Amino acid sequence: MNEQPEERQEPSGGRRYYAQPRLCQFCTDHNAVIDYKNVELLRRYITEEGKIRPRRQTGTCARHQRALARAIKRARHLALLHFTGEMLR
């Protein structure tokens, strides 16, 4: 029984994946302002459970992520946003 060994390929097909670097939406668009009264903008950065999305999901820089968190917390205290998610109520 003279069998030849099978050729092995990389599991990914031999190609490497390089993700494109994310750019902060607020750094690229200088007209976009983070404000606690802009509820529609803030809802994009909140999960269905009501938690603030992390930087790795939103793609914002550290400076604007802190500003987003501050604006979301202010909007929650003024009852513009819910503390819990829409599904949990």
- CATH number of the domain that residue 69 is part of: 4.10.640.10
pLDDT in tens, 47-84: 999 999 999 999 999 999 999 999 999 999 999 999 98
Q: Calculate the alpha carbon distances from 69 to 6, 14, 18, 79 in Å.
A: 54, 41, 29, 15
Residue 74 is encoded by which pair of tokens?
């202010």
Query: What are the residues whose beta carbons fall under 8 Å from the beta carbon of 37, sequence distance 6 or more?
Result: 75, 80
Asked if pLDDT for residue 9 goes beyond 70, the answer is: no
In a domain, 71, yes or no: yes
Report residue 85's pLDDT band, with 50, 70 and 90 as the boundaries.
confident
- Predicted local confidence at residue 20, as pLDDT: 75
In a domain, 85, yes or no: no
In a domain, 19, yes or no: no
- Predicted local confidence at residue 59, as pLDDT: 93
Domain with 61 in it: 25-78
In a domain, 53, yes or no: yes
Asked if pLDDT for residue 10 goes beyond 90, the answer is: no
- Predicted local confidence at residue 1, as pLDDT: 60
Asked if pLDDT for residue 42 goes beyond 70, the answer is: yes
Please give the tally of structural domains in the chain: 1
